[in-house]
Amino acid sequence: MTEARFLAGPLGSEVERALRRLAAAPDVVHLAVMPDVHLAEEVCVGVAMATTRLVYPAAVGGDIGCGMAAIRFDGEAARLRDRAALLSGLRERVPRGRHRRADFCPWPDDLDPERLSTPTLGALARGDGRAQLGTLGSGNHFIELQVDGDGALWLMLHSGSRAIGPAVRSHHARGLVGLDGDEAAAYVGDMEWALAYAEANRRALLARACDAVSAALGAAPVDDSLITCVHNHVCRQQHGGRALWVHRKGAMPAAAGQPGVVPGSMGTSSYHVEGRGNPEALASSAHGAGRAMSRSEARRRISPRELVRQMGEVTWDARRAALLRDEAPGAYKDIQRVMRAQSSLVRIVRRLDPLLSYKAT
C-alpha cells in the first residue's frame, strides 16, 4: 500500500487513526489524503482511495453524487443592487427539504426506479425521490451568487442525491466493508443511479436559481460557461498501468485539464480550477475548504452574533443565525491554505468572492 498526503496543516489524532484504519483495510493499494481532510463516519472526508477488486461503500459515503455546478451570467455583478429581493426570490423558487405534490419537478426519463436493486429502494425513489427532486438539502448544501476578478456575476450551487444516497449506502454495507462480485456490482449499479439522480437534482436547482436571477436582474446564464463536478463516487480508472476502483469521498476528480469548482465556506472565497492529473493524488483534489470544527463543536463555540460578524457584507438570512452556526466560516479551514497545499493538484483559473448565500437548515 502506498500513500500520498497533501496537507494544509497538522492532523488530529482521531483523523490519523481513521486514516491508518482505512490504509490497513483489505485490498487498499493507494491512499491519497487531500488538504481538506476531516473526520467523518468510518472514512474521513477528503480522501481518494484505490483498490484492485473490492468496492467500499463507506469510502464513497452517504451523499452519493454530491457535487458542484457553477454558471456565469451575461450581466455584471454590479447590477445586483437589491440582494435582499433576490434572496427572497430564491426562497420562493428553490424550496428546502421537499416539494408539495403539486410542485413536483418533471421526472427525467433516464431515472427508472425499476433499475434499482431492491423494491425498497425503488419505492423510496418513487416517494422521497420525486418529492425532493429540485430541492435544496441541509448541512453544507447551498446556492451562492459571486463576483469574479473581472466583475462578472456567477452562480454556484452544491447539492447531492438527497435521501436516495444514504439509503443506497446503508442497504449495501454498514461499516468499513469491502464488497466483491455480485454484491459489488449491485452496489455500483445503485450508486450510478444515485449519481444520475444527483445530477438531475443539480440541473433542476440550477434552472430554478437561474430563473430567480434572471427575474431580478434581467440577466441570462451563459450556457457554455457551465462547470460541473462530483466529489462522492467510485469508478473504474487506469492508474499506474492497471485498472483500479478509485473511491472519492469529499475529493474532486482532477485529471489533466479537467475543470472543477472548489468552494470555500459560507462567506469566504471559492475557486474555479483545472486539474493537473497528479498520479500520487489519483488525479484528485480537495472538494472544498473542509471542516476545522465538528458541527457540535461549532455550535458550542460560535454564537449567532459571531456568525453575523464573520459573514461581513455577504447577504444571507441572518434571522436563521442560530441554526447556521455550524456552517460559519470559522468552522471551516482557511481556503487559501487549502489551495496552496494543492498547488500540485490543480491550477487556479479564477477566484470568486461571495455576494449572497442561500442555505437550508
Locate the domains of the chain by residue range: 2-292+332-359
Whether residue 155 is predicted with pLDDT greater than 70 in this model: the reply is yes
In three-state secondary structure terms, 172 is: helix
In whole angstroms, give the CA distance from residue 321 to residue 304.
5
Task: Give the CATH superfamily of 2-292+332-359.
Answer: tRNA-splicing ligase RtcB (3.90.1860.10)
In three-state secondary structure terms, 239 is: strand
**Residue 339: what pLDDT?**
98
Which residue in 141, 172, 247, 287 is the catalytic one? 287
Share of the chain above pLDDT 90, in %: 92
Give residue 180's pLDDT band: very low, low, confident or very high (50, 70, 90).
very high
Q: What share of the chain is helix, strand, coil (3-state, %, to 5)?
A: 35, 30, 35
**Pairing mode, if any, of strands 45-51 and 242-249?**
antiparallel
Q: Cα 135–140–145 angle (5° rounding)?
A: 75
AA letter at 202: R
Q: Are 272 and 258 in contact (CB under 8 A)?
A: no
Provide the grid cell at 196: 444520475
In whole angstroms, give the CA distance from residue 344 to residue 119.
45
Q: How many CA atoms lie within 13 A of 201 on its CB side?
A: 40
Give residue 360's pLDDT band: very low, low, confident or very high (50, 70, 90).
confident
Average pLDDT over residues 310-314: 97
Whether residue 102 is predicted with pLDDT greater than 60 in this model: the reply is no
Share of the chain above pLDDT 70, in %: 99
299-322 b/e (C-beta count within 10 Å ≥ 16 → b):
beebebeebeebbeebbbbeeebe
Residue 287 designated active-site: yes
Provide the grid cell at 230: 462530483
* Strands lying side by side in the sheet with 232-239: 2-5, 28-38, 45-51, 242-249, 232-239
Give the model confidence (pLDDT) of 85-98 as tens digits.
999 999 999 988 77
Provide the grid cell at 309: 460578524
In whole angstroms, give the CA distance from residue 221 to residue 209.
10
In whole angstroms, give the CA distance from residue 143 to residue 207.
12
Whether residue 99 is predicted with pLDDT greater than 90 in this model: the reply is no
Torsion-angle region of 160 (φ positive above 0: left; ψ -120 to 50: alpha; else: beta): beta
pTM attached to this predicted model: 0.96
Average pLDDT over residues 65-73: 98
DSSP per-residue letters across 65-93: T-EEEEEEEEEEGGG---HHHHHHHHHHH
Q: Are 121 and 164 in contact (CB under 8 A)?
A: yes
